[in-house]
Amino acid sequence: MEPIKIPIEDVIDLHAFHPKDVPDLLKDYFSACIDKGIFSVRVIHGKGKGILKKRVQEILGENQMVESFRDASQEAGGWGATLVELKKNIV
């Protein structure tokens, strides 16, 4: 199976990915963002029942690259997206 290539931007939509792939996906995506000088990323997980949002926020809380995260503003997806600030200096 060919790997999926996605553009590295300040937003990633998780709708196209299987939930079991999300931890590694976010780790790799954040690393690529930092390499490109992108330190603010909007993660779109959708609203639904909030299960994926909860899982995403658990992953963010454990990720050494993440400085902080919060729910997106209404204009940026509301509680269907999370805004992530990445660390600029990772040791």
DSSP E strands in 1-91: the ranges are 11-13, 40-44, 66-71, 81-86
> Over the stretch 45-84, which tens digit does the pLDDT of each residue have?
988 888 889 999 999 999 999 999 999 988 888 889 999 9
Task: For domain 11-86, give the fold.
Answer: Ribosomal Protein S8; Chain: A, domain 1 (3.30.1370)
Residue 29: count of CB within 10 angstroms of its CB: 21
d(C-alpha 79, C-alpha 45), whole Å:
9
In this prediction, residue 89 has a pLDDT band, given cuts at 50, 70 and 90, of confident
Q: What is the pLDDT of residue 47?
A: 87
CB 81 within 8 A of CB 75: no
- The mean pLDDT of 34-53, rounded to a whole number, is 92
pTM of the model: 0.89
Q: Which amino acid is at 19?
A: P
d(C-alpha 76, C-alpha 25), whole Å:
21
**CA 81 to chain centroid:** 9
